[in-house]
Copies of this chain bind each other. A is one copy, B any other.
Amino acid sequence: MWALGAVGGARGAALAAAAVTAVALAVLAWRRARPVREVLFFPSRPCCIEALLAEAAQPGAPARPCPCPLPSGDTALSRLVRRLLSARRSLDLCLFCFSCPQLARAVQLLHRRGVRVRLVTDAQYMGLHGSQIGRLRHAGIQVRHDQHSGYMHHKFAIVDRRMLITGSLNWTTQAIQSNRENVLVVEDAEYVKAFQDEFERIWEEYNPTNYSFFLKGNK
């Protein structure tokens, strides 16, 4: 009786475990299937993103505590970084101004991980002090820029051709820590397609074969 009870109990426990697993998988699938809809407002509290970068570089590796005094809590910046680091295949960036070293490290990490990164930026702002464009080019990331008098003023990113990250935020530490800014994170095929098409148009238009170089004295 005891033995039977034990067998019945074991069977029951196995059934319960299977049920719990099934429910957990269903919840996971539902959460995965639910498209991302997020709004981030800035300024963001300064935060340490070392743990996020380390986890993205070596998933599952034991975390080493960062000696910096910044907290590593949940902030608008850490959420933005998480969304970027979710890229597996491609990251298309269309950024007026990119001088935030933390975001540049995240982009470089993705590039090293084999994600195809393409970056379009503004010619007048890419050479300013603190710009990360040179560093990213040096790391081997493809960068193209405009040749117009108007600004390439977009501030959007597309992750894996499925998630759009767009708003008022230039990717600068000043904007992240001091300005009132917004960023929408949208996993919506219609919006993503519109921005992806715009990216491809600009990427082709800014192809270096179309650049013209003016020397001083020439007209």
Contact = CB atoms under 8 A, between A and B. Distances in A.
A23 interface: no
Chain A facing B: main interface SS:
mixed
A177 B178 CA distance: 29
Given A148-B178, A149-B178, A184-B184, A168 B154 contact: yes
Interface in A106-160: 146, 148-156
A89 interface: no
Contacts of A37: 190-191
Interface residues of A, number: 34
A211 to B, nearest CB: 17
A194 interface: yes
A43 B150 contact: yes
B182 A166 contact: yes
Contacts of A178: 148-151
Contacts of A155: 168
Contacts of A169: 153
A180 B151 contact: yes
A101 B158 CA distance: 33
Contact of A168 (B150, B153, B180, B202): B153
A175 B174 CA distance: 22
Contacts of A198: 41, 182
A180 B150 contact: yes
A146 B180 contact: yes
A39 interface: yes
5 closest A-B pairs by beta carbon, nearest first, are A150-B178, A39-B194, A153-B179, A150-B179, A151-B179
15 contacts: A37-B190, A41-B194, A43-B150, A148-B178, A150-B174, A150-B178, A151-B179, A152-B179, A154-B180, A154-B181, A156-B168, A166-B182, A166-B184, A167-B167, A184-B191
